[in-house]
Structure 1
Amino acid sequence: MTATASTPAGMLRTEVHRDGARPLLTFYDDATGERIELSATTVDNWVAKTAGMLTSGLSVEPGERVCLLLPAHWQALAWACACWSVGACAVLDPADDAEVTVAGPDTLDTAAGLGSPDLVALALRPLGAPFTTGLPDGALDYAVEVPGYPDQFTPIMPPDPDEPALEQQGTTHTLAGLVARAHDRAGQLGLPSGARLLVSTDDLGTALLDALLVPLVVGGSAVLVRHEDPDGRAARVDTERVDAVVNPAA
């Protein structure tokens, strides 16, 4: 992917070039026992494949809207960054004007009722496995569709940093605004360079800021936890060598 460091995709590319093999995101779901560790290069590959699916498979163009009805999950972070790579706006609330709606197993019924031209379903199973049950008519299984797309993505035109990038609860942030917000958040938290954060949340907006964008601006990494078992936090902080436990952003 090609982008400037004034955009989230540009920051990700910077980290890939700096040290692509290092862990960028470690994801836990304490309800299922899942743990997966993703390097910067692996995250970048998932973002590139998803951006390819958006453009080549779903005909999404810069400035269009993609509705992400997803929880705080590593695949959801890849989807948001893929939207930003192509210049699309990721909308985190139900929207009836999106070109594509992306849903997890708990939001498929809501998504199917929105009337988007395309519906993509994520099973959110360990290791990115596909659904084992039927899907609504016309829905695409992300795990089945995305592997065929390239590991690299270059937009025809790099997204404008001033383009809308994220909309949630009536607030819209631009690509450059997301980068600035992440810098502000890192300063608010007093994070040193290379900090490793533990972020416990099921809110995608919180995860995008604290578990993806903030680690990118400080050259660090994150441990993102869904359905956290509080009794296991101390051991996880020690095992994962966490520097800071981050409360949800205000």
Structure 2
Amino acid sequence: MCELTVTAALLGPLLDSDPAGPSITYYDDATGERIELSAVTLANWAAKTGNLLRDELGAGPGSRVAVLLPAHWQTAAVLFGLWWIGAEALVGGGADSDGADSDGADSDGADSDRADIALCTAQRIDEADAAVGTGEIAVLSLDPFGKPVADLPVGLTDYATAVRVHGDQIVPERGPGPALNGRSVDEVVAAAARAATAAGLQPKDRVLSTAGWATADDVTTHLLAVYAVGGSLVQVAHPDPAVLERRRTMEKVTRTLE
């Protein structure tokens, strides 16, 4: 039986109802950067990422992908991309359910923090190396113009260079594995809905957030909850308090997550 992925469950309805509308708007107040992606553009980036992971790095259902990235529009593309191929995101550590112990070892004594693949910034390559051992590492520059990572060590994949050659359409995985730190697709989608309710989010809300995505709960509360109500996200890095109120008005923000 075909099962929905997290991407299909949360991004799919936006693609059906408002594909050209803003899905994520990213600001970095330290650099002046502003990038806005529609639902279809975010989906295309997710598809390209999923194809890179599947075709070039050998990922699929059961693959565990360490995501060592900040709250950023490219991180959203990475997450939705790996979920489209049924892989599991590890954010802020290893599994946190289904029998995992708090020290990171599962009930069989295996190291539940071990990943098959890591996606990271250049500043976190050492963490990625520790997470995957002999596994694959792709490094993101997060450059708004798609510049590659400077002086990338031999043997690592430059995300910006590699992802551009992959197609922006994808065949979603029909039998996805665990989705986020040991949680199933259904558990992640349900947790996103609960987080949206707890935050008072309403359908079609335009949500401004300055919060990070350092843990699985952060991802659920500050990213996925927005999509659970069919909303759009204004994500601000290095927020400048002096411009936030003006930005709320300019971006027609209806809710704020901090």
TM-score (norm 2): 0.85
Q: Secondary structure at the match of 1:165?
A: coil
Q: Which residue of 2 aligns with 1:231?
A: 242
Amino acid at match of 1:87: G
Structure 2 unaligned regions, length at least 5: 95-112
For 1:103-114, list aligned pairs within 5 A: 103-114=120-131
Report how many aligned residue pairs link the two structures: 237
For 1:81-120, list aligned pairs within 5 A: 81-93=80-92, 97-114=114-131, 115-120=133-138
Q: Which residue of 1 aligns with 2:251?
A: 240
Q: CA RMSD in A?
A: 2.0
Structure 1 residue 61 displacement after superposition:
2.1
Q: Secondary structure at the match of 1:90?
A: strand
How far apart, CA to CA, are the structure 1 residues paired with 2:6 and 2:71?
21
How far apart, CA to CA, are the structure 2 residues paired with 1:97 and 1:185?
28
CA offsets per residue over residues 187-219 of structure 1, 9 Å max, x none? 112222110101102334466334532222212
Amino acid at match of 2:147: A
Q: Which residue of 2 aligns with 1:123?
A: 141
Q: Secondary structure at the match of 1:166?
A: coil
Q: Which moved more, 1:45-54 or 1:84-93?
A: 84-93
Q: Which residue of 1 aligns with 2:201?
A: 191
1:63 aligns with 2:91: no
1:166 aligns with 2:184: no
Q: Secondary structure at the match of 1:20?
A: coil
Q: Secondary structure at the match of 1:44?
A: helix
Identity %: 37
Asked if the contact 2:27/2:235 (under 8 Å) is kept, the reply is yes
How far apart, CA to CA, are the structure 2 residues paired with 1:234 and 1:179?
31
Q: Secondary structure at the match of 1:101?
A: strand
Asked if the contact 2:89/2:179 (under 8 Å) is kept, the reply is yes
How far apart, CA to CA, are the structure 1 residues paired with 2:20 and 2:136?
34
Asked if the contact 1:211/1:221 (under 8 Å) is kept, the reply is no
Structure 1 residue 110 displacement after superposition:
2.4
Structure 1 unaligned regions, length at least 5: none
TM-score (norm 1): 0.87
Structure 1 residue 127 displacement after superposition:
3.5
Amino acid at match of 2:158: D
Structure 1 residue 138 displacement after superposition:
0.5
Structure 1 residue 113 displacement after superposition:
4.1
Q: Secondary structure at the match of 1:55?
A: helix
Structure 1 residue 11 displacement after superposition:
2.4
How far apart, CA to CA, are the structure 2 residues paired with 1:44 and 1:211?
19
TM-aligned CA distance change 1:150 to 1:93, over 3 Å: same
For 1:7-46, list aligned pairs within 5 A: 7-46=6-45
